[in-house]
Chain A
Amino acid sequence: MLELQKLLTTIETMSEELAHQSRAHREQTARAQEVLRAFAQVDDALLDKVERAADLDPSWRGARPVGERLDEHHAPEAPDHDASLIAVDGSQIYPDRHGMALYYLINTGGIVLRQGTGQAPLTFTRPQVFFREKDLFNEAEELIDSQTVNNLREMAELEELARLVAEERAYWQGDLDRRVVAMMDGPLLLWVSEREYEQSSHAHRRLQEYLACLDAIRAAGGLLVGYVDRPRSANVLRLLHVAELELMAIDKETLRATRYRGLSDRFLFDWLRPQERSALFASTSRINRRDFAPAGHEIYFFYLNVAQADGPDDANIVRVDVPAWVAAQPETLDLVQQAVYRDCRGTGYPYVLARAHELAVVTQQERRQFEQMLATQLMRRGRWPYTSTKAYLKSLL
């Protein structure tokens, strides 16, 4: 029970501080935009600073400019081309030691929308239940945690995406003129903690499987996109901070002393006009430099205004991740930019991603129905299904 009257003072303080913070952020953003313009020309001195920062502190998550100017803004001039849009999303039920049975579930949902055909899109769902001991317990014989299930779900999503891209290419009989844009919800870079990377063979296997999926999508001519809605990343702001430092003044301490703390890149680019994208950047994160780049899949990103109305107050700045091989051809990058913008029209978010999410999501009601069906089958086989006392009491509240 949340006794709201006990929080009245906190709510007042919180709103006051947030309003103050918001004003401060606006001022900081204006200053950051000035710095962006002041250091707009990308030169060797700037690239040396980025290189030094990334070498000195491998955990530094900055941005390496890929183009010639930081303040580049670009809207494709060529007319829209119809493409096939593919999106996959996933959801899960985590293992619950208080539940009637130990299991976890991963449900992937996907959609293939063929622009220009007038056909209803193809949709599918793929539920998988894991209940065997080998699936449920890790090497230390502990019940796997929610992060592990998330990792497995992420892999299942990418595998489905790779499969769908190959099928779509086959549908068009290998015609490479038909563009196939494969969309994921979220960043394309895999998250692997350094501790996990150093200590777990699973992490390496997961990384290799992930990169193999990227290989497969590339081989099938898929244009892979990671769409990040309302991004909180500040890679370009960290780049600006480094740009202001002298090369030899860059060390771990100065890297952390950024004046842009609390800001996000999306505010930095709120001047982009509808359908315009920012310059292209490469993430300097360790996994990108160490694992993705050597495998030919270095991840680039740009910011894109997917709003319909013009002006900073209406801007809807999102981050779009693409592998380097998608960005290699300007016309391909334009096509991706157009496809994402076109699919966001009206909804402010890619239609295909919204639909993939809708197909993948497992509601509480569906979960209850699944467990009721399981309970019935268990009873038929002489096993009385029961939850823990704690779970039972919670269900009464």
Chain B
Amino acid sequence: MNDTSPLFGRTLRTGTLTFTFGSTLPHSRQPAFGELVRVPAGAGQVYGVVYDVLTQDDPFVRQVIAASDQLEAEKIADMRERRQSPVEITALAVAYREGGHVYQRIPPRPPATLEPVYGCDDEEVREVLQGWDSFRTILNHAQCPAEELLAACIRHAARCQPAERRRQFLVEAGRELTRQLSADPLRLDAILRRLGGDQF
């Protein structure tokens, strides 16, 4: 856990299973789908996996878009970075930290509103996602594209491993998926296909 981690935004709405935060960061610095984020909750921390990024519109944006062929770069930057219509990012709570220990379970209580939401460094990702208990939390969540999210989360965790361990990490994740989804080969296949390729 690093206090110099990037601040992505602040919580707008929170619940036991998910929390939504507003971000005014430029598009390129927003957390990616499947990325792990951290938010303080009481004396501990709640960890979530980003699964929805929603950019709101309003009548003014629609009016400006009508002139899209003539839109100047400064106005695009203004719309994206300055206007009070933050991007809403929702994360699925998969773990929490309490008393120095990380638990891969639904947190006992959600974060409050306006709490800062930070990114996690590689070490923190490795610590929080070690073991595979969060797989089940993601697979069981009905409101998110679970197969896509789990594959993105595993790829994110793999990127946070030392280079020489990445391939082994993916193999171990695949084995664990095979064990957990032994009764659902179609779903297993969908996830494994999304883990393939050199660009994880």
Contact = CB atoms under 8 A, between A and B. Distances in A.
A355 B60 CA distance: 9
B22 to A, nearest CB: 17
Nearest to B63: A347
Given A120-B80, A120-B82, A354-B60, A115 B70 contact: no
Interface residues of B, number: 19
Interface string A354-381: 1100100000000000000000000000
Nearest to A114: B74
A121 B60 contact: no
Which of B67, B71, B78 gathers the greatest number of chain A CB atoms within 10 Å? B78
Contact of A351 (B64, B66, B80, B84): B64
A119 B77 contact: yes
B124 interface: no
Contact of B74 (A121, A345, A347, A354): A121
Contacts, number: 45
Interface string B56-76: 000010011011101111110
Contacts of B176: none
B81 interface: yes
Nearest to A342: B72
Interface string A216-249: 0000000000000000000000000000000000
A347 B64 contact: yes
A121 B74 CA distance: 6
Given A345-B67, A346-B66, A347-B67, A121 B72 contact: no
A346 B71 contact: yes
Which of B73, B80, B84 gathers the greatest number of chain A CB atoms within 10 Å? B73
B77 A121 contact: yes
Majority SS of interface residues in chain B? helix
A117 interface: yes
A115 B74 contact: yes
B160 to A, nearest CB: 31
Contacts of A113: 74-75, 78
A118 B64 contact: no
Interface string A100-131: 00000000000101110111110100000000
A143 B53 CA distance: 50
Contacts of A358: 60, 83-84
A346 B64 contact: yes
A382 B87 CA distance: 41
A118 B74 contact: yes
B78 A120 contact: yes
Interface string A52-68: 00000000000000000
A343 to B, nearest CB: 9
A226 to B, nearest CB: 22
Interface of A: 111, 113-115, 117-121, 123, 345-347, 351, 354-355, 358
Given A121-B78, A354-B60, A358-B60, 8 more contacts: A111-B78, A115-B72, A119-B74, A120-B74, A120-B80, A123-B78, A346-B68, A347-B63
8 contacts: A118-B73, A120-B78, A345-B67, A346-B66, A346-B68, A347-B67, A351-B64, A355-B83
